[in-house]
């Protein structure tokens, strides 16, 4: 008889992600609409699928180099230069990872000592705080408040920095709020990072999903930042390649070497076939991105308009990513209770704001990466359900 089936202490305070927990709540007989998943409903561009299939059929099914196939790293170096004027050496300053997810975890594993404080945001992407805790660090939360358009206040950031602060995680365009920072706002955060000698993990996976003329500025391109920033990115959102699990990191060679070491022991290398798909994504026409963003924009307008017409629910208009983050405080239910209510009453699944941190309480995350017609139907159902609350 085994008496030792206990996970290690480091898992003690780790709970499952609050995004998937609500899947089981709905009545399977009628049609459930999921506005919960953070992935585009599009398929990858045809040339990506062709390259992927071709690579598989050609037998490119063996281990790849630990840091990624050279052609892909070279293409990624070109991208950094053409998008942001940043020069990275493909041999030592770029690492191909199993999605941004692995990249973030590698960064935390490589940088955070037990007891180190890691500044991150609340609300924030579900991976950050558990990731920090898993490696023995202590997450310290900068609030993202609605009255500040879910942007961090510089005063808050500065006041939370202590002698134990070593790393800061930033994510703009933001999940779950859709907030985007201006040039000056990023410059100010960069200045704080330099002044306090912080290393920044900048999660820029939504860099291309922007609206109303908003622009993305890569954090590493600001003065003093290239040498202290790990830019984390992914093919998941930009090319609708979530299932291919392709991400990458740019950074100074000392840091990339550290990530490489952990990566080597965790995954050995990234799926070779998927890397050829990613290569085709970068080398091929980029029109699919603007087409996808145009469609997201149409949905964003619909969702924000319809949500604001519902009494007791209010929603700012996000400038990036594909999430709306309406305030539901007036409905008198916790965000979890409201999600459960919506699932049962309307067969619509969203994510409670509290899944992203305690400051997310009172909000709902609606992913509009679902078909327009589905969104129309979901919003009708939500409106009807909320009326029953009144
Ligand atoms: C902010 C953010 N970072 C990282 C990820 C993970 O992306 P990937 O599929 O590349 O692991 C997501 C996915 O939802 C995300 O929203």
pLDDT, tens only, 221-256? 999 999 999 999 999 999 999 999 999 999 999 999
27 versus 85: the higher-pLDDT residue is: 85
Positive or negative: CA dihedral 122, 125, 127, 128: negative
Q: Using the mean position of ligand 1's atoms as its centre, give its distance from the Cα of residue 242 in Å.
A: 9
Gap between the Cα atoms of 95 and 379, Å rounded: 41
C-beta of 99 in contact with ligand 1 (< 6 A): yes
Average pLDDT estimate for 132-140: 97
C-beta of 174 in contact with ligand 1 (< 6 A): no
For the chain, the average pLDDT equals 95
Q: Using the mean position of ligand 1's atoms as its centre, give its distance from the Cα of residue 12 in Å.
A: 24
Q: In this model, does residue 24 exceed pLDDT 70?
A: no
Task: Note the pLDDT of residue 4.
Answer: 82
Nearest atom, ligand 1, residue 39 CA: 14
Task: Note the pLDDT of residue 20.
Answer: 63
Q: Using the mean position of ligand 1's atoms as its centre, give its distance from the Cα of residue 266 in Å.
A: 18
Q: Are 98 and 71 in contact (CB under 8 A)?
A: no
Query: Tokens at residue 335, please?
Result: 């965000």
Query: Tokens at residue 200, please?
Result: 């920044």
Gap between the Cα atoms of 318 and 299, Å rounded: 12
Q: In this model, does residue 27 exceed pLDDT 60?
A: no
Task: Note the pLDDT of residue 22.
Answer: 65
200 versus 14: the higher-pLDDT residue is: 200
Q: Are 118 and 171 in contact (CB under 8 A)?
A: no
Q: Using the mean position of ligand 1's atoms as its centre, give its distance from the Cα of residue 3 in Å.
A: 37
Helix (H/G/I), strand (E/B), else coil: 201: strand
Q: Using the mean position of ligand 1's atoms as its centre, give its distance from the Cα of residue 205 in Å.
A: 6
> Where does the pLDDT of residue 19 fall: very low under 50, low under 70, confident under 90, or very high at 90 and above?
low
Burial (CB < 10 A; 0-12, 13-18, 19+), residue 56, is middle
| Residue 254 host element (H or E) | helix 253-266
Mutate to test the pocket of ligand 1, among 121, 125, 126, 274 (most ligand atoms within 8 A of CB): 125
> Where does the pLDDT of residue 152 fall: very low under 50, low under 70, confident under 90, or very high at 90 and above?
very high
**CA distance readout (Å), 48 to 25, 216, 232, 285:** 36, 25, 21, 10
C-beta of 234 in contact with ligand 1 (< 6 A): yes
Say how many C-beta atoms besides its own lie within 10 A of residue 62's C-beta. Answer: 8
- Chain centroid, CA 360 distance in Å: 16
Q: In what order do the strands lie in the sheet with 364-367?
A: 323-324, 364-367, 351-352
> Where does the pLDDT of residue 17 fall: very low under 50, low under 70, confident under 90, or very high at 90 and above?
confident
Q: Which of the 8 DSSP states describes residue 308?
A: H
Q: In this model, does residue 29 exceed pLDDT 60?
A: no
Nearest atom, ligand 1, residue 321 CA: 16
Phi/psi-derived region of residue 363, left when phi > 0, alpha when psi is between -120 and 50, beta in every other case:
beta
C-beta of 171 in contact with ligand 1 (< 6 A): yes
Q: Using the mean position of ligand 1's atoms as its centre, give its distance from the Cα of residue 234 in Å.
A: 7
Average pLDDT estimate for 253-263: 98
Q: Using the mean position of ligand 1's atoms as its centre, give its distance from the Cα of residue 95 in Å.
A: 16
* pTM score above 0.85: yes
* Start-to-end Cα distance in the chain: 55
| Residue 138 host element (H or E) | strand 138-145
Q: Are 42 and 292 in contact (CB under 8 A)?
A: yes
Mutate to test the pocket of ligand 1, among 100, 121, 231 (most ligand atoms within 8 A of CB): 100
Q: Where are the domains of the chain?
A: 9-37+288-389, 46-283
Instruction: Give domain 9-37+288-389's CATH number out of 2.60.120.890, 3.30.70.20, 3.90.1150.10, 3.40.50.2020.
Output: 3.90.1150.10
Query: Tokens at residue 2, please?
Result: 């085994």
Residue 383: half-sphere exposure toward Cβ, Cα within 13 Å: 14
Q: In this model, does residue 158 exceed pLDDT 80?
A: yes
Residue of 125, 124, 127 lying closest to 102 (CA atoms):
127
Gap between the Cα atoms of 299 and 33, Å rounded: 15
Q: Using the mean position of ligand 1's atoms as its centre, give its distance from the Cα of residue 100 in Å.
A: 6
Write out the DSSP string of 285-296. --HHHHHHHHHH
9-18, 32-41, 342-351: lowest mean pLDDT where? 9-18
Nearest atom, ligand 1, residue 242 CA: 9
Instruction: Give domain 46-283's CATH number out of 3.30.300.90, 3.40.640.10, 3.10.180.10, 3.90.76.10.
Output: 3.40.640.10
Gap between the Cα atoms of 247 and 235, Å rounded: 6
The residue to which tokens 């950031």 are assigned: 157
* Phi, psi torsion values for 326, nearest 5 degrees: -70, 150
Beta strands in 162-257 (DSSP E): 165-170, 199-203, 229-234, 246-250
Residue of 297, 374, 270 lying closest to 37 (CA atoms):
374
Q: Using the mean position of ligand 1's atoms as its centre, give its distance from the Cα of residue 1 in Å.
A: 41
Query: Tokens at residue 148, please?
Result: 């500040």
What pLDDT digit, counting tens, does each position of 337-351 carry?
999 999 999 999 999
Task: Note the pLDDT of residue 15.
Answer: 84
Nearest atom, ligand 1, residue 101 CA: 11
Atom 13 of ligand 1, nearest CA residue: 38
> Where does the pLDDT of residue 26 fall: very low under 50, low under 70, confident under 90, or very high at 90 and above?
low
Task: Note the pLDDT of residue 37.
Answer: 87
C-beta of 38 in contact with ligand 1 (< 6 A): yes
Pairing of β 117-122 and β 138-145: parallel
- Chain centroid, CA 58 distance in Å: 33
What pLDDT digit, counting tens, does each position of 358-370 carry?
999 999 999 999 9
Burial (CB < 10 A; 0-12, 13-18, 19+), residue 308, is middle
Q: In this model, does residue 12 exceed pLDDT 90?
A: no
Share of the chain above pLDDT 90, in %: 91
Q: Using the mean position of ligand 1's atoms as its centre, give its distance from the Cα of residue 26 in Å.
A: 25
Nearest atom, ligand 1, residue 171 CA: 1
């Amino acid at each position: 008889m085994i008496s030792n089936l206990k996970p290690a202490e480091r898992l003690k305070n780790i709970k499952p992600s609050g995004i998937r927990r609500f899947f089981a709540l709905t009545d399977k007989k009628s049609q459930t609409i999921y506005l919960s998943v953070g992935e585009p409903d599009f398929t990858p561009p045809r040339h990506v699928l062709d390259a992927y299939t071709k690579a598989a059929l050609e037998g490119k099914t063996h281990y790849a180099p630990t840091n990624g196939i050279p052609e892909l790293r070279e293409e990624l170096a070109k991208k950094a230069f053409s998008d942001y004027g940043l020069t990275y050496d493909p041999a030592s300053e770029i690492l191909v990872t199993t999605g941004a997810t692995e990249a973030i975890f590698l960064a935390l594993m490589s940088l955070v000592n037990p007891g180190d404080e890691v500044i991150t945001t609340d609300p924030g992407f579900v991976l950050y705080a558990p990731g920090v805790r898993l490696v023995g660090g202590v997450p310290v939360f900068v609030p993202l408040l609605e009255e500040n358009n879910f942007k961090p206040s510089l005063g808050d950031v500065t006041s939370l920095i202590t002698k134990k602060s070593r790393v800061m995680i930033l994510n703009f365009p933001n999940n779950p709020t859709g907030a985007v920072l201006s040039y000056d706002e990023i410059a100010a955060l960069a200045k704080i990072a330099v002044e306090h000698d912080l290393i920044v993990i900048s999660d820029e996976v939504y860099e291309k999903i922007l609206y109303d003329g908003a622009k993305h500025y890569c954090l590493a391109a600001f003065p003093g930042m290239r040498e202290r920033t790990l830019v984390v990115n992914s093919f998941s959102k930009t090319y609708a390649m979530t299932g291919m699990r392709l991400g990458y990191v740019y950074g100074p060679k000392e840091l990339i070497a550290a990530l490489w070491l952990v990566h080597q022991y965790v995954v050995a290398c990234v799926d070779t076939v998927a890397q050829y798909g990613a290569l085709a994504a970068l080398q091929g026409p980029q029109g699919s991105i603007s087409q996808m963003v145009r469609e997201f924009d149409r949905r964003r307008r619909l969702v924000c308009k319809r949500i604001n017409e519902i009494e007791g629910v209010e929603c700012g208009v996000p400038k990036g990513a594909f999430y709306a983050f309406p305030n539901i405080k007036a409905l008198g239910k916790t965000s979890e209770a409201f999600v459960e209510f919506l699932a049962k009453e309307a067969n619509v699944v969203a994510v409670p704001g509290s899944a992203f941190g305690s400051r997310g309480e009172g909000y709902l995350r609606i992913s509009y990466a679902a078909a327009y017609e589905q969104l129309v139907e979901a919003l009708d159902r939500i409106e009807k359900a909320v009326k029953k609350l009144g």
